[in-house]
Amino acid sequence: MNNPRSLAEEIANILDEKKAGDVVILDISRLTVVADYFVIASGRSEIQVKALYDELDRRMAEAGVAARHVDGAQSGRWIAVDYGDVIVHIFHHEERAFYNLERLWADARHQKLSSEPQ
C-alpha cells in the first residue's frame, strides 16, 4: 500500500467484505503520533472476531504487508493489529460498546464504511 489512507481503506474493505459489523476509519493523524488511522470493526462472536482477523492477516500477507504486532488473537474479544501508520481494532461487539473508542477519539475524523451494527 502506498500510503496510510489507502492501507486503512483496504483494511476496512477486507473487514467489510468478511461481514464485520460497523466498520469505521478514524483519522487520528492530527491528534497523536501513535498512528495516522484506526480501523475499528465488530464481530458478533469470538469465532467471528478470530475469522475477521484471520482473513485480514491472510490478505495483508498476500499484499506483502506484515503486522508489526498483534495482541489479543487468542481471546477473540479484542484483537489489535499494528500496521505502523494504521492500527486495527477488531472487537467482540460487547467489548466495543464497553471501550467505545469512537467516543474516546471523538475529535478524530470518522469515515463509516458499513451501516449494519453487529
Length of the chain: 118
Q: What is the pLDDT of residues 67-116, one digit of tens each?
A: 999 999 998 999 999 999 999 999 999 999 999 998 889 888 888 775 44
Cell of 111: 469515515
Q: Residue ranges of the domains in the chain?
A: 4-112
- pLDDT of 1 over the 70 cut: no
Superfamily of domain covering 4-112: Beta Polymerase, domain 2 (3.30.460.10)
- pLDDT of 57 over the 60 cut: yes
3-state secondary structure (DSSP) of residue 72? coil
For the full predicted model, state whether its pTM sits above 0.75: yes
DSSP-derived secondary structure letter, 13: H
Residue 111 pLDDT = 80
- Cα–Cα distance between 56 and 28 in angstroms, integer? 21
